[in-house]
Amino acid sequence: MPGENLVGVTPTSIAPKSIADLEALLKDDIKVKVAGIDVDGVLRGKYMSKEKFLSAASSDGFGFCSVIFGWDMHDAVYSRELLISNRANGYRDLIASIDLATYRRIPWEGNVPFFLVSFYDSETKEAICADPRGVLRAVVSRAQQKGWRCLAGCEYEYFQFKETPESLAQKNFSNIQPLTPGMHGYSLLRTQINSDYFNDIFDESLKFEVPLEGHHTETGPGVYETALAYTDALRMADNAILFKFLAKSIGMKRGVVPSFMAKPWGNLPGCSGHIHVSLRDSNGKSLFAVSEAELKTGRESAQYSDTKFVSQECEWFLAGVLAGLPDIMPTLVPTINGYKRLVGGEAFWAPNAVTYGYDSRAASVRIIAPPSVPPAATRLEVRVPGADMNPYFAISAIFALGMRGIEKKLSLPGPPVSQLTLEDKKAGKVKMLPTSLEAATARMMAAESIAREDAVFGPAFVEHFGGTREHEVKLWNEAVTNWEVERYLELA
């Protein structure tokens, strides 16, 4: 447990293999930075003296206040008491277990050493049900028991604002200024403006052991899109959460606020957090790829002609994701605002139905397979999540549902969809996804929810995470917005 490279983590290139290695790496340091992740995907951490850190790394970890699982992203205690941290247990300490595999240095912060932690119950020594890293590690471990390796990639779209935390507060978050004007997707000109900031994000990511595959402008005023390099699922989630930290840190130094909010502007496309996934067997072969013979002739067992270029296991995996998608929506779209991104549906390439398509960006799950890519690159892209997702929970949900589909040999719900029409929706030809956090949370917490199955998330996680989403809904229902005042104050 503590002081070890944990199961399912691809180490950074400089990670120590032992405590002796660790001591040598830190010989010239006086402090270390550590952080864990809360249910909203917010990094919670602190500096530790080197002596305290080494003591914790060599033993059972160190105490960390459990309140980070008892309050929301703005440090407000949840509306109702939840199991992990509450008044009854005195907001007791959890054990923070240092993961040596996550060692890197923060280049923009004086090269201070940095490690991620996972959280364990101080009495049972078991991973707590809502620790994001623990949840994903459990899913990855189940795959490893079957001889499979979970691989993933994340793509983030995010707005940039020419603001500071102070200016946002002074403006009451109104009339905020985008970094650049206009719609300029894939622009080579817009990258010349604020080029130091744009390039810093890429260059510092590499130094921070968060490798990128692509970095460009996306359509929208001041919008960037960054694709993180494909890797093992738990390392991918770590990289995704740390990329946000990096972008926000670099931004603050340059008077820029990057926002991963799903829908900052009502009349513009929102910000996605697309997730690519695949499985490999113990020999490193893609479990989703068809054989060379099948590639030439087509797979006879394919349920639909458009899926003949993926394996039977991939088809079952896809069917599992589609079957459980409506029941795990809060793990993909965890905020009130996130569902506003989905309202526009296909118009903004934000799918809101249980659909899949062969290389289709209009579908909720896009199949990427030959002839578009070589067989070894066969994968699925889940396009429902927004940039505000918690990547640990989102990736966990996709793999848990997919492996459930393989185990049950589930069938696809219908043929692929390249374009979903209003008539299709009205005729009930496709199943629609929940359109609000309130509806999505109710569905996830229902007694018959697939999310409650032990092979997916289990009841303890659903009760805790669902309770945090109910809190979010309660705050929204109590809020009076500018839209309401402008609409009703004079004429109602």
Asked if the model's pLDDT at residue 369 lies above 70, the reply is yes
- Beta-bridged to residue 36, according to DSSP, are 44
Domain 149-483 sits in CATH at 3.30.590.10
Q: What is the pTM of this model?
A: 0.96
What mean pLDDT is predicted for residues 211-230? 97
pLDDT-wise least confident of 96-105, 156-165, 296-305, 442-451? 296-305
d(CA 65, CA 45): 11
Its sign, for the CA torsion 230, 231, 237, 241, is negative
Burial group, residue 459, by CB count within 10 angstroms (0-12, 13-18, 19+) = middle
User: What integer pLDDT is reported at residue 299 of this predicted model?
Assistant: 86
Q: State the SS3 of 101-152.
A: EEEEEEHHHCCEEEEEEEEECCCCCCECCCCHHHHHHHHHHHHHHCCCEEEE
pLDDT digits (tens, 9 = 90+) for 113-145: 999 999 999 999 999 999 999 999 999 999 999
pLDDT digits (tens, 9 = 90+) for 13-67: 999 999 999 999 999 999 999 999 999 999 999 999 999 999 999 998 999 999 9
How much is the mean pLDDT over the chain? 94
* Every domain of the chain and the residues it spans: 19-128, 149-483
d(CA 185, CA 203): 21
d(CA 417, CA 225): 26
Its sign, for the CA torsion 464, 235, 368, 339, is positive
Whether the CB-CB separation of 36 and 114 falls below 8 Å is answered with no
Contacts of 395 (CB under 8 A, 6+ apart): 136, 139, 150, 152, 233, 236, 237, 275, 277
Domain 19-128 sits in CATH at 3.10.20.70
User: What integer pLDDT is reported at residue 362 of this predicted model?
Assistant: 86
Q: Which of 104, 136, 144 is nearest to 118 (CA)?
A: 136
pLDDT digits (tens, 9 = 90+) for 5-21: 445 679 999 999 999 99
Whether the CB-CB separation of 260 and 225 falls below 8 Å is answered with no
User: What integer pLDDT is reported at residue 5 of this predicted model?
Assistant: 45
pLDDT digits (tens, 9 = 90+) for 256-313: 999 999 999 988 989 999 999 999 999 999 999 998 888 878 888 888 877 789 999 9
Its sign, for the CA torsion 203, 206, 208, 212, is positive
d(CA 403, CA 320): 7
Asked if the model's pLDDT at residue 344 lies above 70, the reply is no
Its sign, for the CA torsion 218, 242, 251, 388, is positive
